[in-house]
A and B are shown apart, each in its own frame.
Chain A
Amino acid sequence: MFVTVGDRGDAARAQDLSNHQGKIIRIRADGSGSEIWSYGHRNPQGLVFDTHGRLWEHEHGPWGGDEVNLIKRGINYGWPLATYGIDYSGIPFPNNDPKRFEQPIYYWPSGQSLAPGSLVAETLGDMTRLWIGTRIVTQIVLVLDIKDGHVVREHRRWQGELGLIRDLALHDGWLYILSDYPPAIHKKRP
């Protein structure tokens, strides 16, 4: 079982391997223990395997800098030494060097805070399609088409129609969307 843990407001601990903050943790199902799978995460929200066994994650940046990452074992994803966002004060982080660390597959730059909250992966031939529900301000379903490790298309759907999106699921050719404010289950053709 894979579990995400945010930095809980103490960014430096995401680089400290003596704790679980800012990490993705693998817990063995037989109860024999756990290991840090990756680190340097700020606030991971979505985590999903695709049909090829690749592990996708998205996380909230500070002000801007929300990321989609392809998670690899033992890799440092850089937070707080690397981010494409800026501090809430509007001041860039000192000594920030995003290129030093594993690059996100995709990110939204400063000024765009989408707050991704749920994640579903779909395999379409040689392309991976990620469905991302956003929680707070934007309340949209983002669609990212990824080919050869690059996003070839970003598409935004049902903006403002669904309320606050909590969870997504693909089933039997339908996309189901669980929302709050108002609470509902929406059924859409993807």
Chain B
Amino acid sequence: MSRPVIVTFLLIAAALTCGFTPQLKHPSAFEVLAPDQFLVTQSTGELILIHNDRQEKVRNVPPVAWHLRLASCSSP
């Protein structure tokens, strides 16, 4: 296989498996809010919002949170 063909193949492969590496510390569970927007718990006891390649701490959570699911609710 020629070099241009290999490079093209690698670029296509990278595009198909695209991901990014946020600065997380032992993530344990997540919820996908929208394409490439996430809520993530990590075992340091934080809930992290990742949005537009930025991340911010939302609040503290129990340090071993293995599952995370959003629920809607209404208040009177």
Interface residues of A (CB under 8 A from B): 166-167, 169, 171-172, 174, 176, 178-180, 182-189
- B51 in the interface (beta carbon within 8 A): no
B17 A187 Cβ-Cβ under 8 A: yes
Q: Which chain A residues lie closer than 8 Å to B30 at the CB level?
A: 166-167, 169, 176, 178, 185
Of A174, A183, A187, the contact of B26 (CB 8 Å cutoff): A183
Using C-beta atoms within 8 Å of the partner chain, give the interface range for chain B. Answer: 20 to 34
A176 B32 Cβ-Cβ under 8 A: yes
CB-CB contacts below 8 Å: B15-57 with A: 16-22, 24-32, 34-36, 38, 40, 42, 50
Interface residues of B (CB under 8 A from A): 16-22, 24-32, 34-36, 38, 40, 42, 50, 67-68
Question: Nearest CB to that of B17 among chain A residues?
Answer: A188
Report the Cα distance A154→B19, complex, angstroms: 25
Q: Which chain B residues lie closer than 8 Å to A188 at the CB level?
A: 17, 19
B25 A169 Cβ-Cβ under 8 A: no
